[in-house]
Amino acid sequence: MKTAVSSVKNTSIAEYFADFKEITKARLAVSVVFSSIAGYFLGAVEINYLSVFLLAFGGYCMVGASNAYNQIIEKDLDALMSRTKNRPIPAGRMSVATAMTIAVLMTILGIVALYFLNPKTAMFGAISIFLYTSVYTPLKTKTPLAVFVGAFPGAIPFMLGWVAATDNFGIEPGTLFMIQFFWQFPHFWALGWMLDEDYKKGGFKMLPTGKKDKGTALQIIMYTIWMMIISVIPVFGFTGRLQLSVVAAVIIFLMGMVMLIFAFRLYEKRDNVSARKLMLASVSYITLMQVVYVIDKFI
């Protein structure tokens, strides 16, 4: 009997933990934390591991809170889409009150943790939550410009790490912000292309032309080119302490070319397979680009 009760308790704990990961979108939050830490390493003169912990904890809380608020606001729309109908709230596994408690608690903990680093970091973290939940989320059912608005909070993490390390916002974190800002358009439009039919069930307007057509594919190509250009700008030496060697710039440019090739394939074929390949290439690009930047600084 004790074994059976213990098994039930373990199952319940595992289910609660799984729902917590789902409501905070753990994989997305971890990728955001990775970007923030990369930015910190680029900005830091000396690595302080307590600061890294506070940045990671605070960053996860801020992203987790944003995602929880988002799922509270969109609970009825999530129930309409195959991709989201099994989320904790629409599936009935978590109440709105519980989700709100998680969101508010993580907001407070996140802002406090980031404030211990410096007030500017906490301010940018708070701005990202506000833009994501109060501007981006409501606009998703109104206009494709929602992606443009959502790119602002989405571009903050890479920059946030530099600000956390230096307590300064200048050309260096501004450049990091712009790299991740332009990257988001090919990434999210490729994702939006793949999930277009499902998004339409929820009334979301994610593609720039509203269709899976050449116009959308052409915009993906243009934003990919801008991303490639901005990603290598530090090699020219006018981005302050943010520098890039010629070798690193060539590597990053070639990685961008891979993305661009997939973007052209999407323009040519206009199918979900090509969109998925571009989306996966974009995920690889943002991660490897940040790794190259950090390694290039320390060698």
Q: What is the pLDDT of residues 18-48, one digit of tens each?
A: 999 999 999 999 999 999 999 999 999 999 9
Q: Is the dihedral of CA 25, 195, 126, 159 positive or negative?
A: positive
Q: What does the block give as tokens for 171?
A: 């050309």
How confident is the model at residue 2, as a pLDDT?
A: 53
Same domain (yes/no): 213, 252: yes
Residue 104 has pLDDT above 70, yes or no: yes
How confident is the model at residue 1, as a pLDDT?
A: 52
Same domain (yes/no): 293, 181: yes
Q: What does the block give as tokens for 47?
A: 């690595």
Cα–Cα distance between 73 and 244 in angstroms, integer? 42
Q: What percent of the chain has pLDDT over 70?
A: 96
Structure confidence by residue, pLDDT tens digits, 151-180: 999 999 999 999 999 999 999 999 999 999
Check if the beta carbon of residue 290 is closer than 8 Å to that of residue 34: yes
Averaged pLDDT of the chain:
92
Same domain (yes/no): 130, 66: yes
Q: Look-up: residue for tokens 């596994």?
A: 93
Check if the beta carbon of residue 233 is closer than 8 Å to that of residue 239: yes
Check if the beta carbon of residue 120 is closer than 8 Å to that of residue 156: no
Q: What is the mean pLDDT of residues 172-189?
A: 96
Sequence-separated (6 or more) residues with CB below 8 Å from residue 251: 292
Check if the beta carbon of residue 37 is closer than 8 Å to that of residue 55: yes
Same domain (yes/no): 154, 193: no
Same domain (yes/no): 120, 156: yes
**Helices (H), ranges, the chain:** 2-23, 26-43, 49-73, 75-78, 96-117, 119-130, 137-139, 146-166, 171-194, 196-201, 214-232, 246-269, 272-298
How confident is the model at residue 11, as a pLDDT?
A: 56
Domain boundary among 169, 189, 218: 169
Domain count, the chain: 2
Residue 191 has pLDDT above 70, yes or no: yes
Sequence-separated (6 or more) residues with CB below 8 Å from residue 2: none
Same domain (yes/no): 212, 159: no
Same domain (yes/no): 141, 250: no
Check if the beta carbon of residue 183 is closer than 8 Å to that of residue 227: yes
Residue 274 has pLDDT above 90, yes or no: yes
156 found inside a domain: yes
Q: What is the DSSP letter of 145?
A: T
Same domain (yes/no): 155, 253: no
Q: What is the DSSP letter of 95?
A: -
195 found inside a domain: yes
Q: Is the dihedral of CA 202, 127, 152, 143 positive or negative?
A: positive
- Give how far Cα 27 sits from Cα of 6, 229, 239, 258, Å: 29, 28, 31, 24
Domain that holds residue 91: 26-169
Helix axes 119-130, 146-166, angle to 10 degrees: 170
Same domain (yes/no): 190, 299: yes
Residue 8 has pLDDT above 70, yes or no: no
Same domain (yes/no): 109, 132: yes
- Give how far Cα 70 sits from Cα of 25, 64, 153, 156, Å: 11, 10, 13, 18
Same domain (yes/no): 103, 157: yes
